[in-house]
Amino acid sequence: MSAVLIVICAFLYWDTTRWPAVPASLAQNAPPTVFPRLLIGSIVVMALALPFERVIKRRSGAELDIGGEDRPRPVVFLTAALMTLAVYFMPVLGIFPVMVAATALLPLLWGERRYGLIAAFAIGLPIAVAVLFALGLKVNLAFGLTGALFR
């Protein structure tokens, strides 16, 4: 499994090398390739540690109860479908409404029924992301129908 993850990460990293360069007049603090490459690198580090997890756990006296016999539950595929839709609709609707919808629907899909907590999460996380990235780090989140909110 680690080898598959590393091959996928290598392909994705290679893909970031083909992205067009941002002109200096439009450049922000870091080029658009930095965040995806950091994310890809962290996945590679975790994938490299994955084969040693069972050995480390056994030495500490714990046994991993991991088996490939069980099929994934349907919620796994529903989660993947919801996140795919979120990625698809983000350029059209904008980051804020998509994040609100995703942070409201995912906990419901996973069985959470504390509606007040879900509402606070669905409103608070997108606002925190907007404040941190748009205002604090000056990242351009101005896309989609709600892009004007972040200008």
- Long-range CB pairs of 34-41 (<8 Å, 24+ gap) are 36/12, 37/13, 40/9, 40/12, 40/13, 40/16
Of 133, 151, 146, the residue nearest 95 (C-alpha): 146
Give 125's Cβ-side CA count (13 Å radius): 14
Q: What is the pLDDT of residues 63-82, one digit of tens each?
A: 666 665 678 789 999 999 99
Give the tens place of pLDDT for each residue, 86-145.
989 988 888 888 999 999 999 999 999 999 999 999 999 988 988 888 777 777 776 677
Length of the chain as a residue count? 151
Q: What pLDDT score was predicted for residue 86? A: 92
Rounded CA-CA distance 60/96 in Å is 44
Which range scores top for mean pLDDT: 44-48, 57-61, 67-71, 129-133?
44-48
According to DSSP H, which parts of the chain are helical?
2-16, 34-49, 53-59, 74-93, 95-109, 115-129
Which pLDDT score is estimated for 10?
A: 96
Q: How far apart are CA 16 and CA 38, in angstroms?
A: 11
How far is 97 from 9, CA to CA, in rounded Å? Answer: 29
Position 55 scores a pLDDT of 79
pLDDT tens, position by position, 8-21: 999 999 999 998 87
